[in-house]
A and B are shown apart, each in its own frame.
Chain A
Amino acid sequence: EPEVTQTPSHQVTQMGQEVILRCVPISNHLYFYWYRQILGQKVEFLVSFYNNEISEKSEIFDDQFSVERPDGSNFTLKIRSTKLEDSAMYFCASSVGPSVAFFGPGTRLTVL
Chain B
Amino acid sequence: DAKTTQPNSMESNEEEPVHLPCNHSTISGTDYIHWYRQLPSQGPEYVIHGLTSNVNNRMASLAIAEDRKSSTLILHRATLRDAAVYYCILRVPVSGGYNKLIFGAGTRLAVHP
Contacts and interface: CB of A to CB of B under 8 A. Distances in A.
Given A42-B104, A43-B38, A44-B103, A56 B46 contact: no
Nearest to B34: A100
Interface in A13-46: 31, 33, 35, 42-45
Contact of B97 (A33, A44, A98, A102): A98
A82 B40 CA distance: 26
Interface string B96-113: 111111111100000000
A42 B103 contact: yes
A46 B23 CA distance: 25
Interface residues of B, number: 23
Contacts of B97: 31, 50, 97-98
A103 B99 contact: no
Nearest to A43: B103
A56 B43 contact: no
Contacts of A44: 103
A100 B105 CA distance: 20
Given A102-B46, A104-B43, A50 B98 contact: yes
A24 to B, nearest CB: 14
B45 interface: yes
A76 to B, nearest CB: 17
Interface string B16-47: 00000000000000001010001000111110
A66 interface: no
A33 B43 contact: no
Contacts of A33: 98-100
Interface of B: 32, 34, 38, 42-46, 49, 87, 91, 93-94, 96-105
Interface of A: 4, 31, 33, 35, 42-45, 48, 50, 55-56, 91, 93, 95, 97-106
10 contacts: A4-B43, A45-B101, A55-B96, A56-B94, A56-B98, A91-B43, A99-B99, A100-B99, A103-B43, A103-B44
Interface pairs A-B: 8 shortest CB-CB:
A103-B43, A43-B103, A55-B96, A48-B98, A31-B98, A91-B43, A103-B44, A101-B99
